[in-house]
């Protein structure tokens, strides 16, 4: 945990452990916490038309990169402004690494694999039409999210999110994110590389996310490749909404289908407020 500043105030951020943002790095007396972020050099760029990872410097061969679907101009400028206005009327909570968040979903202990409803009262009303629009795309056929997380990134806070894999015990095959207010880059990475292609060091693929686009991760891109947003790729305020569906364990026929049906009923009431 971060030490309080000289006046005994609580840190002005939500960083814990090794995670850091510019606010906590600049706190007086925390000079030892300042991290020199490793400059990310993307070895490959994702080409959505070809569904391939193209080597940036042409030193390595390109390779197929399945599991990423990009839908540009998913929302209009007017819809974007309406969504942001509504979000900013709700409370933003401090989160890790300089982010702020709004959660619409159940309380989950992933380590103990426990789910409880807590104050979960559904997804927000404005997400109903967005979900119906998503379902028109074959990649998202039948997509019914039961959790939505809004994240607010700002460069003055040094906002970022470390490379990670989303849980696959509770959350299902598809992760869906709407990118708003600014372009950014989603960095996909494999620390152990792709030895079958002669790439024994870490492999990184940069996926460009235009403003007002939707990105869907599924298959290998969801379950094998870690994803991150690096600090250097947040050049202006960026807000995203990520939607998650249930895994097979919580769907009809699964061991926890009854709980899954309860979560689905609450989520799709679209009466939610941040918890």
Average pLDDT of span 126-153: 97
pLDDT for 50 beyond 80: yes
Residue 116 is predicted with a pLDDT of 93
Residue with tokens 């709700």: 90
- What sign has the CA pseudo-torsion 14, 20, 22, 27? positive
Report helix, strand and coil shares of the chain as percent, to nearest 5: 25, 30, 50
Average pLDDT of span 70-84: 98
pLDDT digits (tens, 9 = 90+) for 95-133: 999 999 999 999 999 999 999 998 999 999 999 999 999
Whole-number Å distance between alpha carbons of 2 and 32: 11
> What count of Cα atoms within 13 Å lies in the side-chain half-sphere of residue 223?
11
pLDDT for 13 beyond 70: yes
pLDDT for 2 beyond 60: no
Residue 162 is predicted with a pLDDT of 94
Average pLDDT over the chain, rounded to an integer = 89
Give me 108's structure tokens: 């989950």
Local confidence band at 12 (pLDDT 50, 70, 90 cut-offs): low
pLDDT digits (tens, 9 = 90+) for 15-46: 876 667 887 777 645 543 444 455 444 589 99
pLDDT digits (tens, 9 = 90+) for 176-217: 999 999 999 999 999 999 998 888 889 999 999 999 999 999
- What domains sit in the chain, N to C, each tagged with a CATH number? 1-36 (no CATH), 40-267 (2.60.120.590)
């Amino acid at each position: 945990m971060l030490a309080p500043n000289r006046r005994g105030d609580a840190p002005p951020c939500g960083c814990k452990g090794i995670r850091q943002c510019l606010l906590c790095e600049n706190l007086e007396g925390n000079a030892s916490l300042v991290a020199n972020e490793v400059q990310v050099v993307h070895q490959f760029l994702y080409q959505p038309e070809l569904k391939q990872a193209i080597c940036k410097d042409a030193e390595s061969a390109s390779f197929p990169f399945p599991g990423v679907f990009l839908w540009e101009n998913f929302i209009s400028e007017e819809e974007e402004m309406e969504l942001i206005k509504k979000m900013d009327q709700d409370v933003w909570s401090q989160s890790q690494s300089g982010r702020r968040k709004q959660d619409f979903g159940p309380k989950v202990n992933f380590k103990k694999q426990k789910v409880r409803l807590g104050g979960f009262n559904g997804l927000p009303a404005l997400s109903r039409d967005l979900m119906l629009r998503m379902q028109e795309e074959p990649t998202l056929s039948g997509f019914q999210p039961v959790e939505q997380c809004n994240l607010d990134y700002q460069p003055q806070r040094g906002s970022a999110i470390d490379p990670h894999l989303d849980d696959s015990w509770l959350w299902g095959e598809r992760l869906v994110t709407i990118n708003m207010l600014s372009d950014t880059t989603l960095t996909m990475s494999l620390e152990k590389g792709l030895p079958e292609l002669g790439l024994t060091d870490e492999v990184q693929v940069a996926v460009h996310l235009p403003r007002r686009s939707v990105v869907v991760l599924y298959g290998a891109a969801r379950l094998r490749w870690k994803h991150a947003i690096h600090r250097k790729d947040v050049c202006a305020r960026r807000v995203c909404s990520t939607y998650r569906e249930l895994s097979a364990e919580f769907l009809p026929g699964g061991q926890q289908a009854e709980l899954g049906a309860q979560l689905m009923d609450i989520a799709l009431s679209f009466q939610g407020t941040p918890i």
